[in-house]
Amino acid sequence: MRTISRLALSVLLICALLALALSSCGVQNANADEQTSLAVASTAVNDTQPSSAIPGDPNTVDLSASALSGGPDWSYDGLASLVTVKDGANVTVTGTTTTRSVAVDADATATITLKDVSIEVSGAAIMLNSGTDVTLTLAGSSTLKSGVDCAGIQQDINAKQLTINGDGSLDVTGGSDAAGIGTGHVVSSDSTIEIKGGITIAGSANVTAAGTGGAGIGSGLVQSTANSNTIKTSGAITVQENATVIATSDGGAGIGGASGGSGANVSINGSATVTATSSSFAGIGGASGGSGGNVTIGDNANVTADGAAGAGIGGGPAGSGGNITISGSATVNATSSSGGAGIGGGSAGSGGNITISGNATIKATSSGKGAGIGGGSAGSSGNINISGSVNVTATGAGGGAGIGGGPNGTSGAINITGGSIYAAGGSGAPDIGNGARGGAVRPNISAGAQITTPTRDLSHFSLGTIQILLPDGSSAPRDENADGSVSLPNGGTVATFFGLTITTSDSTTIAPDGTITLGNGDITFLGDGTFIHLGNSSTCKITWPDGSTTTVTSNGTQNNN
């Protein structure tokens, strides 16, 4: 009897360990067609009690039930504690569990209603296998929490599409190195790793997703053992209609990529409200060494994005930003705290092309070393186009332009043809143009734009692109102050990089770029010298070669006529 008892205990222990192994996520091997650790065939002894807590409804799965046996659209593996949803299924999952998980068969198309569900397991709470196209409809309030290497809702890298809709709420937390919603930890020896699954959140769904080492929504940690590798994301992330999303990450983007991977293309439209925060990388976009995908925000969307070494919206550190388009009546507040642009490139990364139009309202701020809109620290920006009736506030820091390049970075073409624009560069940087120590660029500003910039004193502005001329026409040596700025000798003349000549007395001076009419007062440069302001009560009128005029008033506001 004692021998039999020990044998029985040994068998039970082995079974328990096997069940634990089958229910854990593990690291997904990107070489395999699918992650199979959670999609186990029902070969073990199953529970034999009724399948649903609601009599007569065989396609309602109550995870709180003492035992499950399956229904027409789903099966249950008692050994793995796994509910598997079949192709063509339309099931409702409810109840609370700390042992049971849900998976969708490979290549299946299925609809699952989550109704007041709570799943907290050591593996993946919900696993969407290769080739799946799944709609999750939210009813009531649900919570999903997964273990190490597992996303809260995990897509195989070859999954097709996940759509979340309904009017309920969902709180999802991934394990370490995994996304809240998206892929888990992926390791491959392939030289190219592609994450294919798309994610759409729509309806009136209210979704909170948190990743650690992976994005809040997007990809988990991606690692390749190949000597050279390309990691790309072809699946897009869309938030639309009246959906509300809060996505956070420690170690990945709020929405987008994780370390080593690029961010997906992101589209936010309708009346969606999105808050995306990363404590390390981009709020929306790339993570460490990862480029941000293209980001499109339109309609009446309301977006708040906070990054650190990555942009608020755009690239991660050492990663370029994709193209960013903001239009319609969208409202965007984007910030970066540690070297990224508010909108554009991450630290040591370049920004892609940025287009802002329509009636959009934008506040883009870098509080580290980056442009408000444009390049991150030591990063250049792509072309920046601002038009329509937009309202834009762009503030750079640490040598980053308000709009343009980051410190030590250049800017592509800057075209501002409309809207109300406030731009403020960081220390030593132009308000609109290249970053500090980045050369100079002439912004193209048309008559329809109204530009406001902060009034600056020469003692706090680096004149690296400005030549000082004495009244007799000779050049004066620069008086370099301790902070790298330049003092203007009394009675001197300043000639800008663009050839415009400005004097300190009442006069009209013809210059290659136009005619400048000055009033009395001290000269204060705004940005790179393109915008000027005289004293506290004077105005400056610039007549450009095409006959248009620009008037700068005492409060630093530029009005184009």
Question: Could you say which of 433, 452, 471 is where a domain stops?
Answer: 452
Question: Could you say which of 452, 478, 497 is where a domain stops?
Answer: 452
Question: Could you say which of 452, 484, 499 is where a domain stops?
Answer: 452
Is 264 within a domain? no
For residues 500 and 37, what is the distance between their CA atoms, to the nearest angstrom? Answer: 69
Phi, psi for 245 (deg, rounded to 5)? -130, 130
- For residue 28, the model assigns a pLDDT of 58
- What residues make up the domain containing 47? 1-257
For residues 23 and 16, what is the distance between their CA atoms, to the nearest angstrom? Answer: 11
Same domain? For 187 and 311 the reply is: no
For residues 28 and 48, what is the distance between their CA atoms, to the nearest angstrom? Answer: 32
Same domain? For 408 and 303 the reply is: yes
Is 277 within a domain? no
Query: 0.95 exceeded by the pTM?
Result: no
Phi, psi for 401 (deg, rounded to 5)? -70, 160
DSSP string, 490-540: TT-EEE-TTS-EE-SSSEEEEETTEEEEE-SS-EEEETTTTEEEETTT--E
Q: What's the domain count of the chain? A: 3
Same domain? For 195 and 52 the reply is: yes
- For residue 224, the model assigns a pLDDT of 76
Residues of the chain with pLDDT under 70: 1-56, 227-229, 261, 290, 438-442, 447, 453-561
For residues 468 and 361, what is the distance between their CA atoms, to the nearest angstrom? Answer: 39
Contacts of 160 (CB under 8 A, 6+ apart): 131, 132, 133, 196, 197, 198
Is 129 within a domain? yes
Same domain? For 335 and 391 the reply is: yes
Same domain? For 441 and 501 the reply is: no
Contacts of 515 (CB under 8 A, 6+ apart): 508, 509, 542, 543
Is 474 within a domain? yes
Same domain? For 141 and 252 the reply is: yes
315-330 CB burial, b ≥16 within 10 A, e <16: bbbbbbbbbbbbbbeb
Q: Are strands 384-386 and 192-195 parallel, antiparallel or unpaired?
A: unpaired
361-398 CB burial, b ≥16 within 10 A, e <16: bbbbbbbbbbbbbbbbbbbbbbebbbbeebebbbbbbb
Cα 40 to the center of its chain, rounded Å: 36
- For residue 312, the model assigns a pLDDT of 95
Is 425 within a domain? yes
DSSP state of 185: -
Among all chains, which residue has been given the structure tokens 């660029």? 441
Tokens for 32, please give them: 């395999």
Same domain? For 382 and 475 the reply is: no
Same domain? For 349 and 373 the reply is: yes
Is 494 within a domain? yes
For residues 387 and 395, what is the distance between their CA atoms, to the nearest angstrom? Answer: 18
User: 531-555: per-residue pLDDT in tens?
Assistant: 333 333 334 444 443 444 444 443 3
- For residue 26, the model assigns a pLDDT of 52
Same domain? For 501 and 445 the reply is: no
Is 279 within a domain? no
- For residue 10, the model assigns a pLDDT of 52
Same domain? For 519 and 416 the reply is: no
CB atoms within 10 A of CB 227: 6
Phi, psi for 380 (deg, rounded to 5)? -95, 165
CB atoms within 10 A of CB 66: 9
For residues 313 and 303, what is the distance between their CA atoms, to the nearest angstrom? Answer: 10
Same domain? For 423 and 511 the reply is: no
Is 270 within a domain? no
- For residue 24, the model assigns a pLDDT of 55
- For residue 561, the model assigns a pLDDT of 29
Same domain? For 417 and 508 the reply is: no
